[in-house]
Amino acid sequence: MKHLAVVPREAAAVPELITAAEQSLPQQAHALDRARAFAEPLIAGELLETGENTLAHADAVAGILKSMGGSEAMQAASYLVYACAHLNKPQEVIAKAFGDSYAALAIETNHLVRVQRQARAADGATTPDNALVQTENVRKMLLAFSRDLRVVLLRLASRLQTLRWHAAHKTRPPDEVSRETLQVFAPLANRLGIWQLKWEMEDLAFRYLEPDTYKDVARLLDEKRTEREADVGRLRARLQAELAGQGIRAEVQGRPKHIYSIVKKMRGKGLEFRNVFDVRALRVIVPEVRDCYAALGWVHQQYEPIASEFDDYIARPKPNGYQSLHTVVRDAAQRPIEIQIRTQAMHDHAEHGVAAHWAYKEAGAKGYAGVAAASEYDTKIAVLRQLLAWERDLAGSSQGLFEDRIYVLTPQASIVELPQGATPVDFAYSVHTSLGHRCRGAKVDGAMVPLNTPLQNGQTVEIVATREGGPSRDWLNPDLGFLASHRARAKVRAWFNEQVRHGTVQRGRDAVEKVLQREGRTATKQAELAAQLGFRTPEDLFFAVGKDEYSLRNIEVLLKPPPALPEPDEVLLKKATRAPERSPKGGVLVVGVDSLLTQLARCCKPAPPDAIAGFVTRGKGVSIHRTDCSNFREIASRDPQRVIEVEWGRPGGGDGAVYPVDVAVEANDRQGLLRDISEVFAKEKMNVIGVQTQSVRGTAWMTFTVEVADSARLAHVLGLVRAVQGVRTARRR
């Protein structure tokens, strides 16, 4: 790796970033040794997808974190992340051994690894420049960062080690890994100010993606490296001394370039290598803004400036807040050299990015590197804005990758992802459904705004809510612009649908309760009533009644069955055309389909060859009962003189006569039960002319009325019905 540049000294503030990030990791005694001993038996014999030994990889990640200034606690976490995959209940096991903070870090890091692996898999099936894949990669990293900086630091160190391993073994990683490094990991390291990771990851990834271009630029740099470094050294010493002579206190640094940066400059400006001005570069750091312009004036007096290469980013800062003066001048030999001039505060912001915001607890109330922040909330706002600036850098200033999404903050500095065009109402529903329903006003960055105001990236939103209440119907009007989120709109519709249902249920409840009062059955349990009527819950019954889809007459019939007649209800047989015949025995009525004055009692439904008896009714002929009929025994005991002997006529049923009989079935209720029992009767060629069913608490009671020519055959059919799945009993009534 001799072609890679040396880490600039100004990146030394990274330990403050690490220190702040790991404050939530408790400093346990011998945590590093204990974590390695805990993980070693689990991962020592395991290989990663790259082929690298997992334990060796974890050792190297811990080493990288140590070089960044990470404590033993932070290094210990690198082992637990890889041990996590080998535990049945990783969160419980790690929490018990090391604490909840370590467990959360291991679980969250593994989650991020999985989603990034999925994103790389999608990338492998698309073109390298697929913006959608890049968008998702950036979004996943942003959201992971917003939850826990430690997760990102571990992932950065792990990715760098993966690239180093491929370099040491002279193997090439998958292109998706290298692209992800250039598009996501290196820019994030740049935003965090972790330069020793940023430049090395960039050059390694570029080396794998474009090996020929990498070798060409490396060769060009090597050809005159010694001469170039000597020139820069002499110029740095002269410039610092001469500025001091002019009363300008300045620190002048050499600014080495690495290969990927040079290639980007060449491609971005369409330059050949010899025309890349900042291969030789210096940086001048001064105390005050006025010193910047004083130093610039002196440099332009002493050296020939190239006018087209001058930029004043102090007067016109970049969108991400970057400030500096950039100029390119020619030395005495007409060789170009780039000079950047900035204050210490500008330098810290440019070089350390989020690191400058993350070290407040270390730096105290005065802040760090001239950047002021009063609380963790201010820090998170700074972080969010840096990451959004990163997104703009990736996509260009004219259009961002996150066209369809925005990120705003809660008053507690939690980041909320919303669709583009989202309003405070969308924000309220994304936080909690109840908050959305009760939303009545909103403050954006401390100022009250209308509820249909579109939100912007980085804003802080506070909802003003009532204790109770519901949404407004205006929110569903697309012309008024209150809602951009489909999820929020669905929640509003669900609320109004529930209100409609609630009103319908209440109407139905009132109607059912009136029926219960009228019938004197107010003590009836509503759950049992609903079950008897075939409903799962009383609310389902009330809803059906309230929508006029279920008649209250059904409830009245259930509560008050029709009164029994003094004599059994009877049914006339079909084909009654002739007078009944007399048996040769004399005085015995013969019963058959042609018997004009006989009726089969409905209470027992007799059929040949049942033992039967007759009862002479008033005006309805002779009622035929089975001799074991309880109704017959009762009326026969009251009027024995009206009982006559009867018998079945035409034995063998050659006339095709059929008789209705009732079959009672008790079974475990299930889907398809009625169909299965009906199929038994159909296969046995028994016509079903009536069915009554009732289900209560999983038990079904069914009564089938079937036509038979011979009741003796019914016993065989009942045996088949009892064989149906779930049937407990099947008998003739």
Under the banding of pLDDT at 50, 70 and 90, the label for residue 355 is very low
Q: Check residue 452 and give its pLDDT.
A: 93
- 178 and 30 in one domain? yes
- 43 and 186 in one domain? yes
Residue 23, domain member (yes or no) = yes
Residue 467, domain member (yes or no) = no
Angle at 442 between CA 436 and CA 446, to 5 degrees: 145
Q: Mean pLDDT across the chain, nearest whole number?
A: 76
- 50 and 160 in one domain? yes
Residue pair 186/175 in contact by the 8 Å Cβ criterion: no
- Average pLDDT rounded to a whole number, residues 561-567: 49
Residue 564, domain member (yes or no) = no
Query: Which of 5-14, 60-69, 120-129, 643-652 has the highest mean predicted lDDT (pLDDT)?
Result: 60-69
- Cα(198)–Cα(20) distance, rounded to whole angstroms? 20
- Average pLDDT rounded to a whole number, residues 340-363: 61
In tens, the pLDDT along 595-618 reads 557 788 888 888 888 888 888 887
Question: Is 80 exceeded by the pLDDT of residue 388?
Answer: no
pTM for the whole structure = 0.48
Q: Is the Cα dihedral 607, 613, 616, 617 positive or negative?
A: negative
Residue 283, domain member (yes or no) = yes
Under the banding of pLDDT at 50, 70 and 90, the label for residue 474 is very high
Residue pair 475/408 in contact by the 8 Å Cβ criterion: no
In tens, the pLDDT along 613-625 reads 888 887 778 888 8
Q: Check residue 565 and give its pLDDT.
A: 44
Under the banding of pLDDT at 50, 70 and 90, the label for residue 60 is very high
- 233 and 148 in one domain? no
- Cα(179)–Cα(182) distance, rounded to whole angstroms? 5
Whole-number Cα distances in Å, 306 to 65, 277, 337, 383: 42, 10, 10, 36
Share above pLDDT 70 across residues of the chain, in percent, rounded to a whole number: 72
The enclosing domain of 198 has a CATH number of 1.10.3210.10
- 699 and 644 in one domain? no
Domain count for the chain, please give it.
Answer: 5
Residue 443, domain member (yes or no) = no
Q: Check residue 413 and give its pLDDT.
A: 63
- 664 and 641 in one domain? no
More confident site: 187 or 427:
427
Residue pair 429/488 in contact by the 8 Å Cβ criterion: yes
More confident site: 719 or 561:
719
- 19 and 160 in one domain? yes
Under the banding of pLDDT at 50, 70 and 90, the label for residue 149 is low
Q: Check residue 141 and give its pLDDT.
A: 53
How would you write 352-412 as a 3-class SS string?
A: HCHHHHCCHHHHCCCCECCECCCCHHHHHHHHHHHHHHHHHHHHCCCCCCCCCEEEEECCC
The enclosing domain of 726 has a CATH number of 3.30.70.260
Residue 445, domain member (yes or no) = no
Q: Which residues contact 159 (CB under 8 A, 6 or more apart)?
A: 177, 181, 185, 201
Q: Is 417 helix (H, G, I), strand (E, B) or coil?
A: strand
626, 648, 670 - which closes a domain? 648
- 690 and 628 in one domain? no
Q: Check residue 350 and give its pLDDT.
A: 66
- Residue 581's domain comprises 570-648
618, 648, 678 - which closes a domain? 648
Q: Check residue 651 and give its pLDDT.
A: 55
Q: Check residue 86 and give its pLDDT.
A: 84
Residue 428, domain member (yes or no) = no
The enclosing domain of 266 has a CATH number of 3.30.460.10
- Cα(600)–Cα(299) distance, rounded to whole angstroms? 124
Q: Check residue 357 and give its pLDDT.
A: 42
Residue 80, domain member (yes or no) = yes
Residue pair 397/328 in contact by the 8 Å Cβ criterion: no
In 87-148, which ranges are continuous DSSP H helix? 90-98, 100-124, 131-147
The Cβ of residue 166 has, within 10 Å, a number of other Cβ atoms equal to: 21
The Cβ of residue 236 has, within 10 Å, a number of other Cβ atoms equal to: 17
Between 176-190, 252-266, 286-300, 427-441, the lowest mean confidence (pLDDT) is in: 252-266
Question: Is 90 exceeded by the pLDDT of residue 292?
Answer: yes
Share above pLDDT 90 across residues of the chain, in percent, rounded to a whole number: 16
- 669 and 617 in one domain? no
Q: Check residue 99 and give its pLDDT.
A: 82
- 18 and 163 in one domain? yes
- Cα(412)–Cα(376) distance, rounded to whole angstroms? 9
- 183 and 48 in one domain? yes
Strand order through the sheet with 447-449: 447-449, 439-444, 461-465
- 185 and 166 in one domain? yes
- Average pLDDT rounded to a whole number, residues 452-473: 89
539, 559, 579 - which closes a domain? 559
Closest-CA residue to 458 (of 677, 146, 137): 146
- Average pLDDT rounded to a whole number, residues 279-296: 88
Q: How many CA atoms lie within 13 A of 138 on its CB side?
A: 28
